[in-house]
Each structure stands twice: as C-alpha cells, then as structure tokens.
Amino acid sequence: MRTLRLLVVLLAGLACAACPGSKRPASRVLLVGADGLEWHVLQPLLAQGKCPNLRALMERGAFGRLETMVPTLSPILWTTIATGKRPEQHGIHGFTDADLKQYTSSQRRVRALWNIADRCELASDVCGWWITWPVEELRGAMVSGSSSSALVEANWKPALIPGAPRQVWPAELEPEVLRIANEAGALDAVQRLARERVFGSFAEGELGAVEKKLMQQTYWSVQSDATYAAIAERLLREDPGDLNLVYFGGTDVVGHRFWRYYEPQAFHWPEDPELQAQLAKPEACERLARAIPNYYEWFDQMLGRLVAAAGADATVIVCSDHGFHAYSTDKPNPLFVTGHHLDGPPGVFIAAGPGIARFGDATRFVQQNELETAASILDIAPMVLALLGIPRGADMPGAAPAGLLDERARAAAALAPVPTHDTGFRASHEEDVPEEMRANYVERYKQLGYIGTEDGASPKPPR
C-alpha cells in the first residue's frame, strides 16, 4: 500500500512538473490543419494578391516547408502532428488496421495535445481532426472527425453524420453542433458553395461522366469543411479554448481529383477517349483547372474568419501534412487520381502571433519562389506545447524549432523535458464502428448525389 501511495504521489508530481505556471508565451493557440496544401499552388495565388489571410500571417510571422514522412497517409500524419510521435509509438498505421477495420481514437496509444492540455487544466476545442471518433472527455469541446471505410474510393475524409453516436463532447453541445451540420450539409447549400466557391456553373452537356463524378465526390469535403469552419468559429467567438484545433480536408481532395486540369502539360494520355472528348471542350477544362486554386481561396476565407474569431492575442499555426504533385502522368489512374503525394513532398507551415519569430521573406517568396525548410511534422506538437508553457516529452522525436520562436517561447521550449506525457494514459483497445454509423454515411452519400440515382443515371452537376 505504501508503495502504491508513493507511486501516486510521484505520478502527480510529474504531471504538475509538466504543466504551465501563471505565464506562458501564447495566451491562446489556434492550430489549423489544411490537408495537402501545396506551396507551388499557393505561390502564384499570393503573387496575384489572392489568399490575403495566409499572406498576412506570413508577413508578420514565420513560414516555410514542413517536412513529412512516408507513408504519407492522412490518418498517420495528422495523428503524428497531434501527438509528436511516430506511428510505431502512437499506433495509427493507416486508414485500417490489420483486420481491415478503420481506426478509432480508442486505438491511439499516446496522449494527444488536447489530452496533455487537459492534464494541465487547460481547455481545448477540437473540430474535425483525424481519428477523433469516438470523442474523448476533456476540458473544452470536441467535435469528432468520423470516417467510413465503406466509402474509401469516393472520399474518405472526416465528416459529421446526423444520428451517429459519440461525435460531440460535451453532450449538451450536440444539438447546436448538429443544427450547424444540418444547415451546412443541406444539398442546396453544398451545391451553392460548390458552384460559387469551387467550380462555377456548367451548362447541360458541358461535362462528361468522369467530370461529374469528380465534382460529386468533392461535395463531401465542401460540406465537411463548411461545417467544421462554422462550428470552430462559433466556439472561438463564444467559448474559446486555450488550445484550438481545426481540420480541413478539401484542399487534399481537389488536388487528387483535378490536378490533370490544373497542370495539363504534365500528362500524356493520347489514347484515352474520355480525355480527348473532354479536351474538345477547352472552356470547361479551363474552369475545372480553377477548382484547386478556387478551393485554396475559399480555405483562406474560412481561415480569415477563424483568425478574427480567435482574436488578436491568439497565436495561429497553419500546416499541411504533405504537399502535392502530378501523378499517373503516362496513363489514367483507375480512380482518376491525377495528383498525389506518395513520395512525401513537404507541406506548408505558416505561423504568427505571440511567441512566433520572423522567419522567411514573404515578398521574396512571392516574387522569386525562394523558400526554406521551417520544421517537420514531428516538431508541431513540441512547438504547441512550448507556446502553452508545457515542456515536451523526452520520448517525442521532434523539438520546437528555436528559429521560429521569440525569446520567451525559446525559453519555454528549453524547459527540461519530462520523461513522457503518456504515463497513466488509458490502454488502447479496438472499438467497432457501429453498423448504423456506416449506414448513415452511405445514406449521406446518396443524398449528396455521390452514388447515383435509382436508374443508374449520373446526377446533374451544380448549376
């Protein structure tokens, strides 16, 4: 019994030692994840005066390439960003486990940033992050990023599904969250956003079956990104956390689906009849080419609202898990995936606010495309902990890059690391996704026109 009491005291002491005092470099941290955001797409937009909110963060803070790892799979990378751990440590190795079951938060073996903050009596608001279903109980709020292996070929990105269990914490927040999800996810709202923000309007007969399918598969991310942005903005304005995380998936989806139109000179498919038929409609191709930059601009607008809601005293970090480039350039991919990241191209890192030093010359980048490496995805979690005044775990392979931090944040980053933040963390276990949850996903896809109509005809594109 005495040994047990000593162990409890020791563990409590370690927890206290890991937690911030009365002062910390950042009063509030907003971490925004944009899947697949690519510098080569962003640079010409900035040169044209587009994406002003990202440009403003670059002008007053730090930016550069963010090194990633292989395999560049979203569930792995976003869990690494949230935990500071490699996949062999955190236990998430892809979209599905060895039994081909989709991963859940119950299988994560280590504490994420929100668990560490909670342990230190700090509140976190988490919206749409990968592998957060079922939600975890914590100070603050969590709106999970759910997914469904039943729809992997269409668009396997996090979403909120009315009727699915354990998507929202605390429970009393669920009615308001689902109200926002229902409004943002209504078919007419999704089609309007797709038309106004991403694709523009197309007349009947302008698009072939492939193009219609690609557009319909993007609707899922349009609804999800609009939903999570609205929920996160509401939380930031009304009850912000000390730590706030928001994930956007659409920047990745349009990269996969529309790179063939964005960079046509990289592709050589002379014998593909569908491609030749579409190339005979150059005006439609030119508008489809705008889908990727249009989505970047829309993301920038959503980011601007989040930054404004977070307040001038918030430290903002924007990052992507990887970059993008042309893929399957010699022959069509069976899924019409024409942009990819299998070889781990670096992503985007941008940060500004209290605790962040100046790193990078925005004007030089925009004019000459000169860019330095700022950090790696393993450095994000230690950096966020430093901004919150919490020492990193010694078992975190990365570290907060000193060149990105001001003097006060560098001092916090230099705190002696604790052995680990994972002592006493719950044992991981498998948790089956309920069948009704899978059914809800399929039904939602049907409602948005992904799967087709009863007679097998392709649904009409947004007009």
User: Does residue 22 lie in a domain region?
Assistant: no
Q: What is the pLDDT of residue 97?
A: 77
User: Does residue 343 lie in a domain region?
Assistant: yes
Range 379-383 average pLDDT: 98
- Interatomic CA distance for residues 114 and 416, integer angstroms: 21
What is the torsion angle, in degrees rounded to the nearest 10, for the CA atoms of residue 257, residue 259, residue 264 and residue 270? Answer: -40
**Alpha helices, H only, 164-245:** 174-184, 187-193, 209-238
More confident residue, 414 or 337: 414
Beta strands 140-143; 168-169: pairing state: antiparallel
Q: What is the pLDDT of residue 316?
A: 98
Q: What is the pLDDT of residue 7?
A: 40
Average pLDDT, the chain: 86
Residue type, 454: E
Q: Give the number of domains in the chain.
A: 1
pLDDT tens profile 241-277: 999 999 999 999 999 999 999 999 998 887 777 766 6
User: Does residue 126 lie in a domain region?
Assistant: yes
Residue type, 159: A
What is the torsion angle, in degrees rounded to the nearest 10, for the CA atoms of residue 238, residue 242, residue 243 and residue 248? Answer: 20
pLDDT tens profile 65-117: 999 999 999 999 999 999 999 999 999 998 877 776 778 899 999 999 999 99
Q: What is the pLDDT of residue 456?
A: 31
Judge whether 249 and 224 are in contact, CB under 8 Å. Answer: yes
Q: What is the pLDDT of residue 6?
A: 37
Judge whether 447 and 186 are in contact, CB under 8 Å. Answer: no
More confident residue, 158 or 396: 396
- Interatomic CA distance for residues 395 and 388, integer angstroms: 19
Q: What is the pLDDT of residue 432?
A: 66
More confident residue, 21 or 363: 363
Nearest Cα residue to 58 out of 358, 406, 460? 358
Dihedral sign computed on CA atoms, order 57, 62, 67, 71: negative
Residue type, 139: R
The residues with which 303 forms a beta bridge, in sequence order, are none
Nearest Cα residue to 251 out of 296, 217, 199, 301? 296
pLDDT tens profile 323-369: 999 999 998 887 778 999 999 999 999 999 999 999 999 999 999 99
| Full-model pTM | 0.90
User: Range of 172's domain?
Assistant: 28-447
- Interatomic CA distance for residues 363 and 367, integer angstroms: 6
Buried b (16+ CB within 10 A) or exposed e, 65-78: bbbbbeebbbbbbb
- Provide the CATH number for the domain around residue 414: 3.40.720.10
pLDDT tens profile 159-188: 777 677 889 999 999 999 989 988 887 888
Range 432-461 average pLDDT: 45
User: Does residue 18 lie in a domain region?
Assistant: no
**Rounded percentage of the chain residues whose pLDDT exceeds 90:** 65
Q: What is the pLDDT of residue 4?
A: 35
Range 205-234 average pLDDT: 89
CB atoms within 10 A of CB 226: 23
User: Does residue 48 lie in a domain region?
Assistant: yes
User: Does residue 454 lie in a domain region?
Assistant: no
Q: What is the pLDDT of residue 409?
A: 97
More confident residue, 19 or 456: 19
CB atoms within 10 A of CB 413: 24
The HSE-up count of residue 367 (CA atoms within 13 Å, CB side) is: 5
